[in-house]
Structure 1
Amino acid sequence: MAAPVSYQSVLTGKVASTVAVGTSVTEGQTLVTVETLAGPMAAAKSTVNGTVTAVDVTVGSDISRDQVVVTVESK
């Protein structure tokens, strides 16, 4: 049964990239990356297969750990 799954950032930093609304994602796929001293790092990864229904951050914005960043409708 389809259900919305909200993803929180595991890192604090400046958003480097995000998936787009409507994108089909698979388990393990990176949803949001942030800039770090070591380069871009995954801040949120999907734990389900589904479709992105909301992206709550934009590239260049600052995010905090535990902030909701993406919602995926699971398949």
Structure 2
Amino acid sequence: MLKVLLVVLLFAVATYALIRVIERRGVARPVRRRTEPRPPARPVGPDDDEDFLRDLDRKRRHPEDPDAPAS
């Protein structure tokens, strides 16, 4: 019984050591690195949004309430 336990223990240690070596070398899963940053999917701020700026310009040129002061 002691010999079986010793064999199982040696097998577990060898497997653990092999897995650690593979992880350290990076063979298990290669890391994919991007070389260029991905452009934003949407405008980052209001000053980047062309529709927002166009609407502001339209509101400034043609105010809906003629009695309201222009800001």
Q: Same fold (TM over 0.5)?
A: no
Q: Which has the larger radius of gyration?
A: 2
Which has the larger share of helix? 2
Question: If each structure's strand is expressed as a fraction of its own residues, which one has the higher value?
Answer: 1
TM-score by length of 2: 0.14
Q: Which has the higher contact order (CA 8 A, sep 6+)?
A: 1
